[in-house]
Amino acid sequence: MEDLIELTKKFCSAAIEPHVMEWEERKWFPNSVFDKLSKAGFLGLIIPEKYGGLGLEKEQVLRWLETFGEIPCMGFTVGVAMSSIVCAKAIMEHGTDEQRALYLPKIASGEIICAYAFTEPQSGTDLRAIRTSGQKTDNGFILNGQKTFITNGARANLILVFGKCEGTYNIFLTKGDTVFVESKLDKLGWHSSDTCILTFRDTPAELLGQNLGQGLQYVQESLSFERLVLSAIGIGLTRRALKDLQPFASTRIIKGRPLSSYPLFKKFINKAVSQLSLFSYFLQQAASKDNFEFSTVLKSYVSDKLCEIADQVLQFYGGYGYTKDYLIERIDRDLRLLPIGGGAREALYESVFRRLKKRISENRPKHDDQF
């Protein structure tokens, strides 16, 4: 694992970071990057070896993502992770043998780029309120509906779509060239990511897996893991912000002293580094427990704290931090999506509260009528 981490650092420094500024300005990173990532062995991390991957455990993947996440371009790092890790994991765990054999090797090679279409304009985090529907046909299914905030929406050639069919929730697979890309969203951050509105009009599709009615379980599992993925990338990006701050603070003179010599600054750095280490530990625990409530609350809490740390880093830069001359300007914007993406913070807390309340009610001991 240590060799993989070191290889990742060298690869990202040489092959990715020199191009990040251009990608951010163009609001697009080239699909050819997936081929480079594949040749370096980074697209098949979670995919079993028999399908061309490395077959790493979830805990190892999250650790790798912290390193990969130090690239100061969250639109790029999340786009790669959504395709090669989150979507690949869903197909790996829930697809048929034929679907695994068809799609997983091509995801690992970079030939297939995936998107996961959960969210709809009118429902947001409330997955049960979706309207996208699937209808059975002689050749499989057709889809009708609309999705929004879809990462990789314009570039994906395989899209996992959450929709209803015959009163049940399901995940469907459809080809990207059969979907209408209504628009690319102009965003505060994640500029290099093609975040899109997608429309399905009698779009041909196939069911992920064999049986109808499994989609809600599948999508909750995917979201639970996606939240850990986003947190890991966020931890890496925040760690990058701290690393970049320290040489600036050593040369920034305030009242005759370097900023780095002030006790307030030292206290902040020590606390922030300790927090990131603690968050990493919690991510590992969440991955091993595979618990929806744990991963959901953890993502919400960690997201807020990462934003707080990044905001304080920007504050130490003073006016310089508000300019594009320093990466913290982009890092601060990119991290701000974490409390929203993968489920808005407030909605997630409410969801966990309802689950726990129901569990407590079901487990409450029953008393005699006289009491």
CATH number for the domain harbouring residue 156: 2.40.110.10
Return the structure tokens found at 302.
């960690």
Q: Are residues 190 and 143 in the same domain?
A: yes
Q: Are residues 318 and 231 in the same domain?
A: yes
Full-model pTM: 0.94
The burial class, CB within 10 Å (0-12 / 13-18 / 19+), for 264 is exposed
Q: Is residue 367 part of a domain?
A: no
- Of the candidates 93, 113, 133, which is a domain's last residue? 113
Q: Is residue 371 part of a domain?
A: no
Q: Is residue 363 part of a domain?
A: no
Q: Which residues pair with 143 in a beta bridge?
A: 134, 203
Q: Is residue 89 part of a domain?
A: yes
Q: What is the 3-state secondary structure (H, E, C) of 303-324?
A: HHHHHHHHHHHHHHHHHHHHCC
- How many domains would you assign to the chain? 3
Q: Is residue 369 part of a domain?
A: no
pLDDT tens by residue, the chain, 371 residues: 899 999 999 999 999 999 999 999 999 999 999 999 999 999 999 999 999 999 999 999 999 999 999 999 999 999 999 999 999 999 999 999 999 999 999 999 999 999 999 999 988 778 888 999 999 999 999 999 999 999 999 999 999 999 999 999 999 999 999 999 988 999 999 999 999 999 999 999 999 999 999 999 999 999 999 999 999 999 999 999 999 999 999 999 999 999 999 999 999 999 999 999 999 999 999 998 878 888 899 999 999 999 999 999 999 999 999 999 999 999 999 999 999 999 888 888 888 888 888 878 777 655 444 43
Q: Are residues 13 and 69 in the same domain?
A: yes
Q: Is residue 368 part of a domain?
A: no
Q: Is residue 38 part of a domain?
A: yes
Q: Are residues 317 and 222 in the same domain?
A: yes
Q: Is 187 helix (H, G, I), strand (E, B) or coil?
A: coil
Q: Are residues 222 and 313 in the same domain?
A: yes
- Extract long-range pairs of 279-287: CB within 8 Å, 24+ residues apart: 279/231, 279/235, 279/305, 279/306, 280/63, 280/66, 280/232, 280/235, 283/62, 283/228, 283/231, 283/232, 283/235, 284/59, 284/62, 284/63, 286/228, 287/57, 287/58, 287/59, 287/62, 287/228
Q: Are residues 249 and 174 in the same domain?
A: no
- Of the candidates 97, 113, 129, which is a domain's last residue? 113
The dihedral through the CA atoms of 210, 85, 202, 101 has a sign that is: negative
Residue numbers of the domain that contains 154: 115-216
Q: Are residues 253 and 315 in the same domain?
A: yes
Q: Are residues 227 and 330 in the same domain?
A: yes
Q: Does an H or E element contain 168, and which?
A: strand 168-175
Contact 313, 278 (CB under 8 A): no
- Of the candidates 162, 197, 216, which is a domain's last residue? 216
CB atoms inside a 10 Å sphere around CB 301: 17
Q: Is residue 311 part of a domain?
A: yes
